[in-house]
């Protein structure tokens, strides 16, 4: 079975929750092992609401981590307070491990390769890249990534524009610097799914009214569905093959300007980065997502 660590902003948008539903279903079907979740945008109910949602999905025992300094992304998260009522193990943010320590602990203990799925901001994984040896492991971040991680799947960037501008890269100084570090230094293959792929694929519009995910979408003002950035990336990662998941890839080297957050891509057969392009119409992906979350 493939092993994953998930990084999520779990912040203003609700597509992270749709993506988490897809992961939870895969876990229940023994198609994936989720070693931990790292929250990279922090508000009062971050950890408790994630714990609450996982409990509602029947998934328990997943270690949670958080970057408690990441309070500066702006906006008012709309759904977390309601989900936090279902928290059991993680009642507050203080119950969760530090983000980088959780990444390092899971990777240090791993006996099989791990894949990272990132559907939020990249400062926690960038801090992992730049982390040094510590009480958890004699290996620094780059060594841990080379030894223990086989692939990184990332929802970020806008790859049909030159330069591209997308929230997960450009949101603030923290995210811009992190994105630049990530693209420059991540030592294992990365596949990006960009803004242009998910924005016009609207999923989640056919949920039952007693479904907790329907409540989340409505709290966000998206009862009729939401753009599918994070769920499409999640589905792609769980399938594990871009072509089988319905995409062509462009291979090369991605770069993010640390001052503007704008992304650039240099095509190269020898690059460590891919971005995906849809091979089918939007209904194909919408129907795939809806079937996974119903
Ligand atoms: Ca997200």
Give the bridge partners for 255, in sequence order: 264
Q: What spacing in Å lies between the alpha carbon of 155 and ligand 1's midpoint?
A: 8
Calpha distance 287→284 (Å, rounded): 5
pLDDT score at 190: 98
How would DSSP label each residue in 79-129?
SHHHHHTT-SS--SGGGSEEHHHHHHHHHHH-SS-EEEEEES-SHHHHHHH
Q: What spacing in Å lies between the alpha carbon of 11 and ligand 1's midpoint?
A: 7
Q: What spacing in Å lies between the alpha carbon of 30 and ligand 1's midpoint?
A: 24
pLDDT score at 49: 98
Token couple for 147: 């030894």
Among 210, 213, 181, 150, CA closest to 24: 213
Q: What spacing in Å lies between the alpha carbon of 199 and ligand 1's midpoint?
A: 13
Domains of the chain with bracketed CATH: 3-293 (3.90.245.10)
**Cis ω before 136 (30° cut-off from 0):** no
Which residues have a beta carbon within 5 Å of ligand 1, which is an ion?
9, 16, 119-120, 230
- Write out pLDDT tens, residues 104-146: 999 999 999 999 999 999 999 999 999 999 999 999 999 999 9
Question: pLDDT below 70 — which residues of the chain?
Answer: none
- What is the CB-side half-sphere exposure of residue 64 using CA atoms within 13 A? 31
53 with 88: CB under 8 angstroms?
Answer: no
pLDDT score at 151: 98
pLDDT score at 74: 87
Calpha distance 183→82 (Å, rounded): 36
Token couple for 171: 């949101």
């Amino acid at each position: 079975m493939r092993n994953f660590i998930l990084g999520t902003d779990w912040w203003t948008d609700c597509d992270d929750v749709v993506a988490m539903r897809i992961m939870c279903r895969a876990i229940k079907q023994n198609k994936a092992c989720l070693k931990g979740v790292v929250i990279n945008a922090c508000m009062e109910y971050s950890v408790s609401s994630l714990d609450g949602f996982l409990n509602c999905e029947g998934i328990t025992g997943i270690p949670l981590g958080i970057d408690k300094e990441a309070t500066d992304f702006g906006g008012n998260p709309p759904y977390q307070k309601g989900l936090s009522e279902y928290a059991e193990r993680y009642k507050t943010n203080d119950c969760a491990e530090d983000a980088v320590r959780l990444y390092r602990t899971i990777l240090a203990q791993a006996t099989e390769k791990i894949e990272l799925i990132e559907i939020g901001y990249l400062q926690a994984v960038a801090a992992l890249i730049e982390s040094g040896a510590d009480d958890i492991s004699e290996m620094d971040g780059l060594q841990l990534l080379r030894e223990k991680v086989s692939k990184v799947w990332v929802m970020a960037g806008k790859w049909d524009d030159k330069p591209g501008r997308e929230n997960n890269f450009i949101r603030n100084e923290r995210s811009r610097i992190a994105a630049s570090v990530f693209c420059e230094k991540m030592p294992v293959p990365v596949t990006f799914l960009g803004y242009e792929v998910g924005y016009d694929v609207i999923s989640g519009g056919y949920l039952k009214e007693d479904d907790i995910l329907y409540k989340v979408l409505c709290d966000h003002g998206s009862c009729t569905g939401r753009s599918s950035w994070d769920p499409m990336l999640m589905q792609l990662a769980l399938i594990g093959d871009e072509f089988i998941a319905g995409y062509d890839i462009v291979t090369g080297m991605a770069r993010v300007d640390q001052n503007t957050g704008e992304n650039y891509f240099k095509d190269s057969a020898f690059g460590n980065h891919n971005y995906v392009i849809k091979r089918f119409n939007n209904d194909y992906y919408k129907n795939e997502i809806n079937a996974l979350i119903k």
